[in-house]
Structure 1
Amino acid sequence: MPDALRLLPLLALAAGLSPQLAAAGPVALHCDRLFDARSGRVLGEHTIVVEDGRIQSVLPGRAKLAEGTESVMLAGRTCLPGWTDLHVHLGGESSPQSYSEGFRLDPVDYAFRAVGYAGKTLRAGFTTVRDLGGEVSPHLRDAINQGLVEGPRIFAAGKSIATTGGHADPTNGYNSMLSHLVGPPGPTEGVINSVEEARQAVRQRYKDGSDVIKITATGGVLSYAKSGDAPQFRVDEIQAVVETAKDYGYTVAAHAHGTEGMKRAVVAGVTSIEHGTHMSDEVMRLMKQHGTWYVPTIYAGRFVADKAREPGYFPEIVRPKAIAIGSQIQATAGRAYRAGVKIAFGTDQGVGPHGDNAREFIYMVEAGIPAGYALQAATLHAAQVLGVDDQGVIEAGKRADIIALPGDPVADIEAVLGVDFVMKDGRIHRRPEA
């Protein structure tokens, strides 16, 4: 990791960003409605008592409180578990300048931006994210955990693992002089071409402090390369990644657009398929057989398809891929739901603007996924993908990650855009305006 990234906590302080302090004693949230993530239904009035970062009790109605308990009235609102976005990139955000900025900006520039993106994400109701690729994210995670920065809980992949010329090869698009100067990237940089290198790359991610492993099993849309869906790993290479990841307690997420690459990743034992554009009936059957999760990222698909029609937004080598692949993801998500594939929530924000993550719920419902299930995808299902059992539901003993919004999001999914209360680990980061 570049030394400049280790300045991120100082950058946060310089930017004047720090989370609000937790209350000194218990806090009671009075909610007109409560989303039950286990059933996917909205229940009636409840009182949630929080202390020391945990939910102490969940009581029906307007409960009588112990002396010294602070009350937060959330009239007209539905309380939900804090949402999880399983696919973000907090280190950047798409723009027409994205491809040239890598040659002009320093890691400190990206770190400053990441602080702002993290704050936007948290205030939108996302108390946890899985950052699937970016050297800034492990440092941002640490700054947030130390209480220096407002942001969601981060499960960080660090550098994604690719093959030479693959979707996450950092030297794609370099001219011959630059390629000669930097040399061919290897496992340390997240580029592998054999089983042994696959194992080395996972071990390097452990050394770098990653929480999860991300591979690019096929080509991608935004990489400076021709193919958006060709398979880019052999099965034994993916198996080596998965087996080595298990040694360190890691799960493996696989970026994949093409059918063959998805098949190889599922058979090799990855935890989740990201994007899944050309998912066939055979792949769906394999995913159900192996218990593989699907994270659609409909938002990113729609965003790139729209922007590809704007001259100059993407390089010419990217535009055809963006149009052909991006526009299909929403339909694939609907088919996968109807086929019984397990779906969890992810947006690929960083492709689209950070803080707009909740729009994915609307796109999921448009695809034919029930609103209650879509909300489960970002709560209970997301916790299952992460392999954690202390979040994703509002129950006694769980983390006090609680959000609230006006209205009933199961009855009207567009209510998800109105989050105005955010609590993470018992700390209130956003309150309704008076």
Structure 2
Amino acid sequence: MADGLLVLTADRVFDSATGRCAPDLAVVCSGAQVDAVVPVAQAPADGDVVRGGPVRRLDLPGHTLLPGLVDCHTHLVGEAESGQGYAHLVTRSSAQEVLVGVENARRTLRAGFTTVRDVGSFRAFADVALRDAVAAGWVEGPRMLCAGAYVTCPGGAGDVTGLAVDVDAVVPAELRFGVCSGPDAVRATVRRVLGRGADVVKVLATGAVLTAGTAPGAPELTAAEIAAAVEVATDHGTHVAAHAHGAEGIRRAVLAGVRSVEHGSLLDAGTVALMAEHGTYLVADLYDGDWILEQGPRLGFSEEVMRKTRDTTQAQRDGFAAAVDAGVRIAYGTDSGVYPHGDNGRQLAYYVRHGLTPAQALLSATRWAAELLGLEHEIGRLAPGLAADVVAVPGDPTVDVTGCERPALVVRAGRVVLGPVAG
């Protein structure tokens, strides 16, 4: 709608400044930004000419308008998890991984998620290439902040494990770009990651559920190594997201000054209190466990992965509830790529089931997520001057968040990508 105004109306508009819905409002978009939020009676009609351009008005009775949703933990590049470890990555090229990512990005956007923080790809900087293609308009996808490569210890959660010893040494360098050990090596690696286009830094502070041979509860980076990553990221004006399941790894990450803890599966009372004290965000992927437990046997997930999933799923949900009760900052993140891309909205109901109100769950995927990313002056609210990222969902999501699983309209930077007049 670059040549005119796009006017959107529905039964209500979710105001993420207050966490409430308001009736009788229209969202007026001019180009890539919101121009105004006004009473419906004051909104231009379809076909009017305003500022020399035509008005396209879309009325969606029975729906609610929301800011574009934000997923702070995605993996858009590459095929879905197989549960068989990461040795198979040597059988695929970067081109294959990125081209799969193109479809993953399209599905994510059409699910109503107009911004993502993509927190790592084994193929270093494949995510950055996808981000740049989306930004250039070559492919359809959400706004992306990218981690570029995993910062991980040798043999750790972000390394390619499970290979025979006689081929382990010949793994392509891009699959191990962020593997390092010691504070000085971490500093150098983070500088290289940011220097090659990453927006944020992802450190793997503990073992992982899906990485063969690693234990989710075991720390894998020292406190000094995590602090080194935070130091360099801060110098570059960005933040660190720490993959951390176990309590000791979480403790080290929080004390080092990371912006967010990803997963947090084995939080205890001490680490919950520490996160609340330091203002550290929790980005918890509560839906993944059910997906793996239900679909893993059919898909051939290894017994190791199934065992670790059983060990962490309920514990993670209990820890999430405790974190909510303690006032820990929550931002929405799903670990997409474990489950099929495009199902990102399903986790909202899990956040409600485990401690948030429906309105708070929406805030976690709008304003709170934008604040985590440092983009609160660009996205996360429907307000003049902010991005014209708008989603329409059936019903009232402050009553039933499952409507967010079925968006009827998705607008990204003023362009309708799903719904009437898409394209």
1:221–1:228 contact (8 Å) kept in structure 2: yes
Structure 2 CA distance for partners of 1:180 and 1:53, relative to 1, 3 Å: closer
The aligned counterpart of 2:147 is 157
Are positions 1:81 and 2:70 aligned together?
no
The aligned counterpart of 2:305 is 318
Q: Which residue, 92, 96, 118 being the options, matches 1:131?
A: 118
Alpha-carbon offset, residue 99 of structure 1: 4.4
Q: Percent identity?
A: 38
Structure 2 CA distance for partners of 1:415 and 1:212, relative to 1, 3 Å: same
Structure 2 CA distance for partners of 1:429 and 1:328, relative to 1, 3 Å: same
Q: Distance in 2 between matches of 1:99 and 1:235?
A: 27
Gaps of 5+ in 2: none
Q: Deviation per CA, 1:61-87, whole angstroms, max 9, x where unpaired? A: 332426332211122210000000000
Q: Distance in 1 between matches of 2:118 and 2:176?
A: 19
Are positions 1:258 and 2:242 aligned together?
no
Amino acid at match of 1:71: R
Q: Deviation per CA, 1:239-281, whole angstroms, max 9, x where unpaired? A: 1100101111121000111000000000000000011011111
Alpha-carbon offset, residue 303 of structure 1: 2.1
The aligned counterpart of 2:264 is 276
Are positions 1:204 and 2:192 aligned together?
yes
Q: Deviation per CA, 1:214-259, whole angstroms, max 9, x where unpaired? A: 0111100000114122011111111110010111112100011100
Are positions 1:177 and 2:166 aligned together?
yes
1:301–1:328 contact (8 Å) kept in structure 2: no
Q: Distance in 2 between matches of 1:129 and 1:348?
A: 11
Q: Distance in 2 between matches of 1:382 and 1:32?
A: 25
2:178–2:189 contact (8 Å) kept in structure 1: yes
Alpha-carbon offset, residue 311 of structure 1: 6.6
The aligned counterpart of 1:120 is 107
Structure 1 stretch displaced more, 43-52 or 115-124: 43-52
Q: Deviation per CA, 1:29-65, whole angstroms, max 9, x where unpaired? A: 1222100111111111211111121111100233242
Are positions 1:57 and 2:36 aligned together?
yes
Gaps of 5+ in 1: 1-21
TM-score with structure 2 setting the length: 0.92
SS, match of residue 282 in structure 2: strand
Q: Distance in 2 between matches of 1:114 and 1:415?
A: 26
Q: Distance in 1 between matches of 2:119 and 2:22?
A: 34
Query: How many matched pairs?
Result: 410
Q: Distance in 2 between matches of 1:219 and 1:51?
A: 47
2:330–2:364 contact (8 Å) kept in structure 1: yes
Q: Distance in 2 between matches of 1:230 and 1:384?
A: 30
Q: Distance in 2 between matches of 1:97 and 1:268?
A: 32
TM-score with structure 1 setting the length: 0.90
Q: Distance in 2 between matches of 1:123 and 1:186?
A: 30
Q: Distance in 1 between matches of 2:73 and 2:205?
A: 15
Map 1:10-409 to 2 at 5 A: 22-65=1-44, 67=49, 68-92=54-78, 93-95=80-82, 99=86, 101-134=88-121, 135=124, 136-170=126-160, 172-182=161-171, 189-308=177-296, 310=297, 313-388=300-375, 389-409=377-397
Structure 1 stretch displaced more, 68-77 or 239-248: 68-77
Alpha-carbon offset, residue 420 of structure 1: 1.3
2:86–2:211 contact (8 Å) kept in structure 1: no
Structure 2 CA distance for partners of 1:175 and 1:64, relative to 1, 3 Å: closer
Are positions 1:419 and 2:419 aligned together?
no
Structural RMSD (CA): 2.0
Alpha-carbon offset, residue 187 of structure 1: 11
Q: Deviation per CA, 1:97-126, whole angstroms, max 9, x where unpaired? A: 774641322211111211111000000000
Structure 1 stretch displaced more, 174-183 or 96-105: 96-105
SS, match of residue 273 in structure 2: helix
Q: Distance in 2 between matches of 1:119 and 1:187?
A: 25
SS, match of residue 187 in structure 2: helix
Alpha-carbon offset, residue 341 of structure 1: 0.7
Structure 2 CA distance for partners of 1:221 and 1:51, relative to 1, 3 Å: same
